[in-house]
Amino acid sequence: MRSPVRLERRLTQPRWLNSAIPVFSLMGALVVGAVVLLATGKNPLDVYWRILDRGFLSQRAVTGTLRTATPLAFTGMCAAAAFRLGVINIGGEGQLYIGAVGAALVGLWIGGSAPVGITIIVMVLAGMLFGAMYASIVGVLRSQFNTNEIITSLMMNYVAGIVLNYLIFNSRSYWRDPRSVGFPSGKPLEKRTFWPTYEVFSTSVSFGFLLAIAAAIVLWVVYKRSRLGFEIGIIADSPRAARYVGIRTKWTIVAVTAMSGALAGLGGTSQVGDFAHYLDAKGLQLNNFGYTGIVVAALARLNPLGAILVAVLMGGLTNAGYSLQGPDFPSGLVGTLQGLILFTAVAGEILTKYRLRSNRNAVKAVAV
Amino acid sequence: MSKRLSKKWLPLAVTVALGVGLVACGDDDSSSSDDTTATADTTATADTTATADTTAAPVDSAAPAPSADWAANFTPWEGSKPVACGPEEGQPLKAAWVYVGPINDGGWTQTHDEGRQAVQTHFGDKVETTYKENVPEGEQVGQVIEDLIADGNTVIFGTSFGFQDAFVAAAEKHPDVCFEFATGFKSAPNLSQYYGAAEDTDYLAGMAAGAATKVGKIGYLASFGIPEVVRGINAFTLGARAVNPDATVKIAWVNSWFDPPVERKQAEALVTAGVDVLGMKGVDSPATGDAAKAAGIPWAGYNRDNSANYGDVWLTGTQYHWDVYEIPRLQQVLDGTWTAGNYHGTIADGFVDMSTYGDLVSEETRTKIEAKKAELAANTGGQFTGPIIDNSGKEQLAAGKQHTYGELMAMQYLVEGVDGEIPAG
């Protein structure tokens, strides 16, 4: 039996589609979600209002949403930066851990003596450097030996997790609090080196989130204005053509992978500086920031500024999800709603490139 | 890689990410049951670990006198005053529980939620309870607490060790909300700690295992080499050797609170090494029970009664009853007499108990265990009475002496009969 509809590639992509499709996707998700909610005896309007209120509207909610969004913004940009070049770095998770290790090292080392401003700057640089170095292993393997980077970067996430566990649980390392006789935990940073938060319209915004916005702007400029951005575009389109015109493809792959790792490393740095204030081996691993970042990148269509917006959306949805659940709202139902919204958002994407055509009235396609 | 290729790979990458994410979510589930338990020991070391903004728990206070009254096991923090976190006239008291795992994890979180349900049943419409499950340790906790307070909850229970810093921070920010934290060590004028003497029931489970082994070798899965778990290993081993003096307990470290595949593998490795009974401490999943079932050998569980699903291999194990503490504490909130402090439950007040005995535990062994249970109910920690020699041959406790509460909470040696050593750190 033939399907009643078929997909047909759009010859042109009207501009309005770019904003209309996400809106329609979201509405579709809400309608399907409403059916699920009605079937389980809930009032969809109440539920949707609560998602809006607890995720995005009240001042307290926005503060929380931005906090949850911060690591996702970094890991989203990490994935997007590599994907743009066609390097599928799914090692953001591990690069984030290693960035946190680097940031905590510096924070603990000079935090007691150096001026606060210097400490923060050096923490940021160390987090980026550690993340970049860890990611560049993947980049070098890919560019020199043509190793599949999906596998190497994924495997290195597990290695990074083991490193974290070793540093905190299975050794008396520099990162571990020697006073934690009971449950091993990370050595806390000096209180004065905690990263600042800023009050913007009575919403508190962490230094890390501002750093994410700054990073997104820098990336956007790199893509639009710099030679590297231009070369990334060419390599992504055709590596062979890029080589013919003399672009150092191998070097660019390593550089971009390192940059991608630096972004994830910044995410780990912000976890140490903004929130945990020590190397939190368990907390870092339980939240899946790196893997969620891949979804963020896909939804943002690999655009760094888009990654910030999507991270905020994901942050709000996450927080609203916890707000919804309770004895009469099982967490499975929350997951279903969140899944529906994300699924339709990704699925709707296809309609920007293709259009739905009814098969009944279709003129027989001419063979090409 | 061409752009076309990258588009082909992108969905795969997203799928892998979602997959790994889901698996990892599974982990979170119970990741913590024990992490929480793991840390009760820190009560002892609170003086060293407590940070400037928190007061240390009363470290050297002797173990509370045994009593069927929970209040005898509760010590208010020095100088703590009643906190008025009760409801307004005519309104129900709103209390919330924050769980790290799902409410049906078959272990830690499930026992906590059973406690919550018992609270709800006890108070009826005077109290309105809610919970948040699958809350990962880390940044998220603080926001979940804020959200619960925004919903009008004035008593909040935390049940995973990794939540502790968020609870301390929230307690400071909301002095009019009462916080109850299971198995931590930090204190605040409106933050209590509650946990209990699981090593007493671990000893009794060890007796059942000692009686069950024919070759005299028991395999034991343990999470981390921290005092709470070490105490459990030692108690279990002493119990096993009390009924079977030649029995040895071989340890396999899982290095995780919840990792069913690794737990299963480690348990199978123990079976291959020749043990004919399995036990566990600080690990959550019933994976050890699955390995026991596959090998057809007896299993002493932990956390919760699993006799129904593992009937053919089930011996017995430690079981928690959180409501023993929670119900009277909420009554105090209603009466306006709630003060923050430290609670260490015992067999005597019913906080820890043995779960159902399996058919594999003989009548004779049951009688022995019940007799010892009465003894430990009257003298918690009494199984740690000298002479106790560690597994390197060194005497750790002279004849006739009993470990103090503080020594128990900081235990870092393994007794004679344990085949294994505490990992570095």
Q: Give yes or no for residue A113 having a pLDDT over 90.
A: no
Span A252-267, average pLDDT: 95
Query: Does B108 lie in the same domain as B77?
Result: yes
Q: Give yes or no for residue A220 having a pLDDT over 90.
A: yes
Q: Does A179 touch chain B (CB under 8 A)?
A: yes
- Which residue in B24, B138, B61, B21 sits closest to B341, CA to CA? B61
C-alpha span between B295 and B289 (Å, rounded):
10
Among the partner-chain residues B13, B28, B131, the one whose CB lies closest to the CB of A294 is B13
Do B16 and A176 make contact, defined as CB atoms within 8 angstroms? no
* DSSP classification of residue A337: H
For strand B341-345 and strand B191-196, is the pairing parallel, antiparallel, or unpaired? Answer: parallel
Q: Give yes or no for residue A368 having a pLDDT over 50.
A: no
B contacts of A91 (beta carbons < 8 Å): none
Do B35 and A183 make contact, defined as CB atoms within 8 angstroms? yes
Q: Does A187 touch chain B (CB under 8 A)?
A: no
Domain annotation covers residue B153 = yes
Domain annotation covers residue B28 = no
Domain annotation covers residue B33 = no
B4, B147, B172, best to mutate vs chain A, most A CBs in 10 Å: B147
Q: Give yes or no for residue B389 having a pLDDT over 60.
A: yes
Q: Does A276 touch chain B (CB under 8 A)?
A: yes
Query: Does B304 lie in the same domain as B176?
Result: no
Among the partner-chain residues A88, A188, A275, the one whose CB lies closest to the CB of B9 is A88
Q: Give yes or no for residue B54 having a pLDDT over 70.
A: no
Supply the pLDDT for residue B24. 43
Do A150 and B16 make contact, defined as CB atoms within 8 angstroms? yes
Do A86 and B18 make contact, defined as CB atoms within 8 angstroms? no
Span A227-249, average pLDDT: 87
The residue of chain A nearest to residue B161, with distances taken between CA atoms, is A183
Number of alpha carbons in the 13 Å side-chain half-sphere of residue B6: 24
Query: Does B145 lie in the same domain as B187?
Result: yes
Domain housing B253:
199-319+354-419
Percent of chain B clearing pLDDT 90 (strictly above):
63
Single out the residue in B284, B311, B345 at which a domain terminates.
B345
Encode pLDDT of B347-359 as tens digits: 999 999 999 999 9
Query: Does B242 lie in the same domain as B117?
Result: no
* CATH number of the domain residue B107 falls in: 3.40.50.2300
| pTM for this predicted structure | 0.81
* DSSP classification of residue B415: B
A contacts of B27 (beta carbons < 8 Å): 286
Shortest Cα distance from B223 to chain A (angstroms)? 11
The residue of chain B nearest to residue A275, with distances taken between CA atoms, is B139
Encode pLDDT of A31-41 as tens digits: 988 998 999 88
Cα angle B149, B152, B155 (rounded to 5 degrees) comes to 70
Supply the pLDDT for residue B66. 54
Supply the pLDDT for residue B18. 52
Supply the pLDDT for residue B12. 55
Encode pLDDT of B189-248 as tens digits: 999 999 999 999 999 999 999 999 999 999 999 987 878 889 999 999 999 999 999 999
Domain annotation covers residue B84 = yes
Span B368-372, average pLDDT: 94
Supply the pLDDT for residue B57. 41
Do B130 and A154 make contact, defined as CB atoms within 8 angstroms? no
Domain annotation covers residue B24 = no
B contacts of A298 (beta carbons < 8 Å): 10, 14
Q: What one-letter code names the amino acid at B228? A: E
- Comparing A353 with B67, the larger pLDDT belongs to A353
Span B14-33, average pLDDT: 46
Structure tokens at A81: 């930066």
Query: Does B380 lie in the same domain as B280?
Result: yes
- Hey, how many other C-beta atoms are within 10 angstroms of the C-beta on B79? 8
Q: How many domains does chain B have?
A: 2
Domain annotation covers residue B215 = yes
Query: Does B308 lie in the same domain as B232?
Result: yes
Query: Does B302 lie in the same domain as B375?
Result: yes
Full DSSP string of B121-153: HHHGGGEEEEEE-S--SSTHHHHHHHHHHHTT-
Supply the pLDDT for residue B8. 53
Number of alpha carbons in the 13 Å side-chain half-sphere of residue A135: 37
Domain annotation covers residue B117 = yes
What is this model's ipTM?
0.80
B contacts of A267 (beta carbons < 8 Å): none
Supply the pLDDT for residue B39. 37
Shortest Cα distance from A284 to chain B (angstroms)? 7
B contacts of A170 (beta carbons < 8 Å): 255, 423-425
Query: Does B230 lie in the same domain as B179?
Result: no
Do A298 and B10 make contact, defined as CB atoms within 8 angstroms? yes
Residue pairs spanning A and B at CB distance below 8 A: 177
Q: Does A67 touch chain B (CB under 8 A)?
A: yes
A contacts of B25 (beta carbons < 8 Å): 288
Supply the pLDDT for residue A266. 96
Residue for token digits 């024919």? B214
Phi, psi of B139 (to 5 degrees): -55, -35
Span B105-109, average pLDDT: 81
Query: Does B311 lie in the same domain as B341?
Result: no
Cα angle B94, B100, B102 (rounded to 5 degrees) comes to 90
What SS3 class is residue A215? Answer: helix
C-alpha span between B402 and B381 (Å, rounded):
8
Percent of chain B clearing pLDDT 70 (strictly above):
84
What SS3 class is residue B397? Answer: strand
Query: Does B407 lie in the same domain as B291?
Result: yes
Among the partner-chain residues B20, B139, B424, the one whose CB lies closest to the CB of A68 is B139
Do B162 and A323 make contact, defined as CB atoms within 8 angstroms? no
A contacts of B97 (beta carbons < 8 Å): none
Which residues pair with residue B76 across a beta bridge?
B341
C-alpha span between B44 and B199 (Å, rounded):
15
Among the partner-chain residues A182, A188, A322, the one whose CB lies closest to the CB of B135 is A322
Q: Is there a contact between B70 and B328 (Cβ–Cβ < 8 Å)?
A: yes
Distances (CA, A) of B175 to B84, B92, B97, B189: 9, 20, 18, 8
What SS3 class is residue A4? Answer: coil
Supply the pLDDT for residue A180. 66
Rg of chain A over CA atoms, in angstroms? Answer: 23
Span A203-223, average pLDDT: 94
Q: Give yes or no for residue B34 having a pLDDT over 60.
A: no
Do A86 and B1 make contact, defined as CB atoms within 8 angstroms? yes
Encode pLDDT of A64-80 as tens digits: 999 999 999 999 999 99
Query: Does B288 lie in the same domain as B336?
Result: no
Do B18 and A154 make contact, defined as CB atoms within 8 angstroms? no
pLDDT confidence bin for A360, thresholds 50/70/90: low
Shortest Cα distance from A355 to chain B (angstroms)? 19
Shortest Cα distance from A341 to chain B (angstroms)? 15
Encode pLDDT of B314-350 as tens digits: 999 999 999 999 999 999 999 999 999 999 999 999 9
A contacts of B255 (beta carbons < 8 Å): 165, 169-170
Supply the pLDDT for residue B60. 38
Supply the pLDDT for residue A177. 85
The rounded mean pLDDT for chain B is 84
- Comparing A360 with B49, the larger pLDDT belongs to A360
The residue of chain B nearest to residue A288, with distances taken between CA atoms, is B21
Percent of chain A clearing pLDDT 70 (strictly above):
96
Domain annotation covers residue B29 = no
Supply the pLDDT for residue B345. 92
Query: Does B358 lie in the same domain as B251?
Result: yes
Do A179 and B131 make contact, defined as CB atoms within 8 angstroms? no
B291 exposure class (CB count in 10 Å sphere: 0-12, 13-18, 19+): buried
